[in-house]
Amino acid sequence: MSESDHVIDRELTMSRAMVESIAHEMRANDDVFYMGEDVADYGGIFDSTQGLLEEFGRDRIMDVPISETAYIGAAVGAAQDGMRPIAELMFVDFFGVAMDQIYN
pTM of the model: 0.85
CB-based contacts of 96, cutoff 8 Å, min separation 6: none
- When pLDDT is averaged across residues 11-30 and rounded to a whole number, the result is 95
Q: Is 94 left (phi over 0), alpha (psi -120 to 50) or beta?
A: alpha
| Strand ranges in 1-104 using DSSP code E only, listed in sequence order | 32-36, 61-63, 84-87
Q: Which residues pair with 85 in a beta bridge?
A: 33
Please report which confidence band the pLDDT of residue 1 belongs to, taking 50, 70 and 90 as the band edges: low
Domains annotated on the chain, with CATH: 3-103 (3.40.50.970)
Question: Distance between CA atoms of 1 and 19, rounded to whole angstroms?
Answer: 29
Predicted confidence (pLDDT) per residue in 49-92, tens digit: 999 999 999 999 999 999 999 999 999 999 999 999 999 998 88
The predicted structure's pLDDT at residue 2: 59
What pLDDT does 70 receive?
A: 95
Residue 4 pLDDT greater than 80, yes or no? no
Read off the pLDDT band of 26 (50, 70, 90): very high
Distance CA 52, CA 63 (A): 12
